[in-house]
Amino acid sequence: MYKLDRTVFKIQTFEEADHTRKYWLTQSYHERLVAGWYLSCVAFNVDPKTVRMDRTVFSMRKQS
């Protein structure tokens, strides 16, 4: 699947960032969802093969 290379980050110009956006808009809806799911899993330290996230990690509070 995907592998995140944490050593390859750079500061982008607006033009370069716009090119990245155009690339993702050329990808199919399904490919964008798969990539988004992978990034969410990396952010929350969840196994990407897991179908659902563990809802016990998050809690809701009633706002007063």
Secondary structure of 35-58 in HEC code, one letter for each residue: HHHHHHHHHHCCCCCCCCCCCCCC
What does the domain layout of the chain look like in residue ranges? 14-44
pLDDT in tens, the chain (64 residues): 667 677 777 777 888 777 888 888 899 999 999 888 888 888 878 777 766 666 676 677 777 6
Residues 6+ apart with CB under 8 A from 37: 48
pTM for this prediction: 0.53
Q: What are phi and psi of 26, to 5 degrees?
A: -85, -15
What's residue 54's pLDDT? 63
